[in-house]
Chains A and B, each alone.
Chain A
Amino acid sequence: MRTVLKRELIQNFKNLLIWSLSVGILGLFCILLYDSMQGDMKEMADAFSNMGAFSDAFGMSTLSIATLKGYFSTEIGAVHGLGSGMFAAITAISIISKEEDGHSGEFLFSLPLSRSRIIAAKGLCVAIMIIIFTAVCTGFYVIGFNILGEEMPMDQFFTFMGTQLLMNAEIAGICFGLSSLAGKNRIGLGLGIALLCYSYDVMGRVVPDLKDYLFVGPYSYCNAAEIFTETETPAKALVTAAVVLVLCVVFAFWNYNRRDLAS
């Protein structure tokens, strides 16, 4: 299993490097832009906080984007949320199916490994990838805060990054389950799932009737504006995330163990 895990990590390293550096450096540049935009943002902050549901959706009614934490949660929070969700989705959606899609399946299946060991190695690889991705991005953001020298509530920042990691795990879990279905690459579907989850959250915050069902989506518990204003995260959102994650991973194991493998 260790050999397969090592191989998967090597195979996915380039993807990890591209995505973590892209999202991390983009976030860092956005943080560094705060200094140059600070003067203009006071007026902008007033305008943005009075845009009704739109302000609510992006947290600008509760946090001023003229402050670093407000700026971080509305700008970088959205960039990281979307970027990390997409990375988690594309990593997980192809991790199982790529063997059959790329015809390398028969080589892998001919080695003395049970299907459960193969899928465990692949699941572990996805988990390691999203953890490293989060760590790299966290590093870039912390560097940005240090360069700015502005005060930033680090406990809330780490809570934000932690819940983002959980959101990534939930999206990856859904895509991991789908990846076990058949030997076809579905990167488009993975990206669609990440974008759909993000859109659902934005819509849920704009449309009052949807608010009660917001907890179903993975972005509901990792909203930067709520975390930085210390709004309590509904427990049902976290429980739903844990249940979805566990069910999807269990489904992947069950399905992969029961079905015929394509060559």
Chain B
Amino acid sequence: MSKKVIEINNLTKSYGKSRGVIDVSLSVEEGDIFGFIGPNGAGKSTTIRSMLGFLKFQSGSINILGMDSVRDHEKILREVGYMPSEAWFYDSMRVSDVIKYAADVRGGDYSEEAGKICERLKLDTTKRIKQLSLGNRKKVSITCAMQHKPKLFVFDEPTSGLDPLIQKHFFSLINEYVDKGATCLLSTHVLSEVDKYCRHAAIMREGRLTMLESPHIDDETFLSFYEDEEEES
């Protein structure tokens, strides 16, 4: 039986009177590439940010790699590589300094792995962050999330801003890590990514989560998830 890497039970998080997520339950097993889809503001990022301890949720429980997300927050982050949807760093730092900074905080020397990732993603590490385009900042974010070879990857809209060739390299890197035992939670709006790379998927709408029978869905079904929301709102 596969080990559960992510186990969310009845998660509810609201922002004052605004809805966040309601009674979300989800489990992701080891070695999975799990697609997490849904319209903007549906609650995908809220779920991810609750998992990583950025948000304090009202009820429910989250277990990551067998650890409690609240109690073992710091330990969990050691084993997780997270790439936020907005890749922002300290403007004045050089790319190499940002990557080293992330490695130093983790207390390891991951320069070999980081070098390999930068080469694959064609990332110039001598530039300053403020000189980078969105796509290049995303590459820095990917490197920071991958260099320590985490057990769990959490990617929030990772490919926006990346050119098609780099997107291909990015997914080949994910596949390599997953083949070695890692797990990946991929939040995205791109159907082809879910169809091509994900083994399981769930959709988030208006703060509620529904598991999909298969991640291989056609365009019309995929768009209907978004249209329904538009009509309802």
Chain A interface (Cβ within 8 Å of chain B)?
3-4, 7, 11, 102-104, 106-107, 109-114, 117, 258-261, 263
Q: Can you give 5 A-B contacts (C-beta < 8 A)?
A: A103-B86, A107-B88, A112-B77, A117-B74, A263-B49
Shortest beta-carbon distance from B57 to chain A in Å: 9
**Nearest A residue to B84 by beta-carbon distance?**
A106
Of all A-B residue pairs in the complex, the 6 with the closest CB atoms, nearest first, are A103-B88, A112-B77, A106-B84, A110-B82, A112-B78, A3-B104
Chain B interface (Cβ within 8 Å of chain A)?
15, 45, 49, 52-56, 73-75, 77-78, 80, 82, 84, 86-92, 98, 101-102, 104-106, 141, 144-145
Tell whether A114 pairs with B73 under 8 Å between CB atoms, given A107-B144, A260-B55: yes
CA distance in complex: A150, B158 (Å): 67
**Nearest B residue to A106 by beta-carbon distance?**
B84
**Given the complex, which residues of B lie within 8 Å of A258, measured CB to CB?**
56
Tell whether A259 pairs with B56 under 8 Å between CB atoms, given A4-B105, A107-B144, A111-B105: yes
Contact of B105 among A112, A260, A263 (CB under 8 A): A112
Tell whether A260 pairs with B54 under 8 Å between CB atoms, given A106-B84, A111-B77, A112-B77: yes
CA distance in complex: A112, B106 (Å): 6
Contact of B54 among A4, A109, A117 (CB under 8 A): A109
Contact B74–A112 (Cβ < 8 Å): yes
Contact B15–A260 (Cβ < 8 Å): yes
CA distance in complex: A103, B53 (Å): 17
Contact of B74 among A106, A113, A259, A263 (CB under 8 A): A113
**Given the complex, which residues of A lie within 8 Å of B52, measured CB to CB?**
109-110
**Given the complex, which residues of B lie within 8 Å of A260, measured CB to CB?**
15, 54-56
CA distance in complex: A117, B107 (Å): 15
**Chain B CB within 10 A, most for which of A7, A111, A114, A263:** A111
Shortest beta-carbon distance from A256 to chain B in Å: 12
